[in-house]
Amino acid sequence: MRLRKELWFGFSLMALIIIPVIALMPWGHLTNGHLGLMMLALICVGIMLGFPTAFTLMGMGVFFAWLAYHSVDPATADRRVLDLFVQRTYGVMSNDVLIAIPLFLFMGYLVERAQLIDKLFRSLHLASARVPGALAVATIVTCAIFATATGIVGAVVTLMGLLAFPAMLKAGYNVKVAAGAVTAGGCLGILIPPSVLLIVYGSVAGVSVVQLYAGAFLPGFMLAGLYIGYVIVLAKWKPKLMPPLPESERRVEVPPFARALAQYGSNALTGLWRGLTGGGIAGVAKRTVLAQLLVTLVPALFIAALLGVTYRMTTAPVVEASTAGLIEAGGLVAAPSRKARCQRASSAHRKNPTRRNLQPSRPLASQARRPQKPRRARRQPPGIPPTQRNPNDYRCPSGSGSRSPSVSPSPYSSIGCGTGSGWKYSSCCSPHSSRWR
């Protein structure tokens, strides 16, 4: 049986990987580093044999983790491997950054299923028909644009290999140049944001993904520009590698109203304006001409709006937050004066005079279990003769307090300033008013 060249190449590459590993591996004393190199070699071989990449990575990781734990403690190797498997799975599922990866893949799938890339490649192919190496240039530009929608290499290379590679071979392009244009443009998917590789790297290394995007944006498009420049120079230098497109490939059928408007000039904008203001064209409605004129002006309107918004944002005055009327925490509002508290308590008493006499229906359990302590002697206000002191008559220094009735002291009586009764008063009263300790 005769093997094809692809199979010979694959088997030769696998032999170049496996033979050095078998020959150079110290089988008598394997360390974690040796296990890691062996795992990497077997992963490459398994993927080249056609096994699914996801299951190959998962199976090799679990198997070699079991080998590492078994060399340390064989009794707990199984449990530790399964615990690590569950923990890493949950860690990946709970990572907010990695959620973007399936969403990017879904976006690329929608773009591919809607056949937007086919239309984009066809449009770029026609727009760059006069440029040397037009198909290769259109391929690289399409790959750069499609890379922003997928963020991976495989999807871009596969789709452009099915779309652009046959077109370049049909146009007489060199096989090496065509394959190089597809692979070089497809590799831009890991560099031009949003990139799945940058997301994974940012999540693993603990680096901001936004900063990685900002750092990779300019190099990605600069590399795409260098690819395009190289293709144009190579097409100019060696036209046989990338022959120009025939005249039939450069022409596109236009609708009848476009052929009717062609008599006003080759420029689309001036032709539509003359057709709109020239009194009408036979067979073409003014509504159609106006709609096409608006479509032609969309890029100019978008650029003008973008420039206007940018100018407004850069020249807008800086708005400073006013702190007028704000009081620092701990100031007058947070800690009112003693006089203000006394006035507030007096007004509350006038609104609800019966509140001061409220007492609990039954004493607390702690009070029932322990005997009442004897009351301490009451301190008399200084500066008042003993004959004029009335223990049931206390007023606030401002005179706004009300007279307290004579009620037997109780630990459950209400507490207030001038409005409270009983043996305990709040701190809002002045030093001249009575206070129980």
Q: Which segment, 86-95, 178-187, 380-389, is predicted with the most confidence on average?
A: 178-187
Would you state the structure tokens that stand for residue 309, as one six-digit string? 């918004």
Task: Give the Cα separation of 230 and 426 in Å (integer).
Answer: 88
Q: What local confidence, expressed as pLDDT, does residue 179 receive?
A: 92
- Does residue 372 surpass a pLDDT of 70? no
The model's pLDDT over 216-252, given as tens digits with 9 standing for 90+, comes to: 888 988 999 999 999 999 999 998 898 888 777 777 7
Residues across the chain: 437
- Please enumerate in sequence order all residues whose Cβ is within 8 A of that of 127, keeping only pairs 6 or more positions apart, or say none: 138
Least confident residue range of 62-71, 246-255, 400-409? 400-409
pLDDT tens sequence across 322-337: 776 666 665 545 455 5
Give pLDDT, residue 424.
Answer: 40
Question: By three-state DSSP, how is residue 401 classified?
Answer: coil
Give me the percent of the chain exceeding a pLDDT of 70: 73
Angstrom distance (rounded) from CA 122 to CA 245: 13
Cα separation values, 199 from 101, 217, 410, 437, Å: 8, 14, 70, 68
Closest alpha carbon to 410 in 357, 366, 339: 357
Which positions ≥6 away from 136 have C-beta within 8 Å?
168, 173, 177, 178, 181, 231, 235, 242
Using the predicted structure, report yes or no on whether residue 404 has a pLDDT greater than 50.
Answer: no
| Whole-number pLDDT of residue 147 | 81
Task: Write down the pLDDT at residue 181.
Answer: 92
212 DSSP 8-state letter:
H
Q: Tell how far CA 388 is from the center of its chain.
A: 78
The mean pLDDT of the chain is 76
User: Average pLDDT in the 121-125 region?
Assistant: 85
Which of the residue ranges 46-60, 256-270, 348-362, 393-407 would you say has the lowest mean pLDDT?
393-407
Distance in angstroms (rounded) separating the CA atoms of residues 415 and 393: 15
Give me the pLDDT at residue 226, please.
Answer: 94
CB 146 within 8 A of CB 156: yes
pTM, two decimal places: 0.56
Smallest CA-to-CA distance from 416 within 362, 329, 336, 347 is with 347
The distance from CA 87 to its chain's CA centroid, rounded to whole angstroms, is 24
Band (pLDDT 50/70/90 cuts) for residue 309 is very high
pLDDT of residue 235: 92
Kindly tell me if the per-residue pLDDT of 299 is higher than 90: no
Q: What is the mean pLDDT of residues 66-77?
A: 87
**What is the pLDDT at residue 302?**
92
The CA distance from 21 to 23, in Å, is: 6
Contact call for residues 417 and 425 (beta carbons, < 8 A): yes
pLDDT of residue 227: 93
pLDDT of residue 377: 54
What pLDDT score was predicted for residue 306? 93
SS3 436: coil
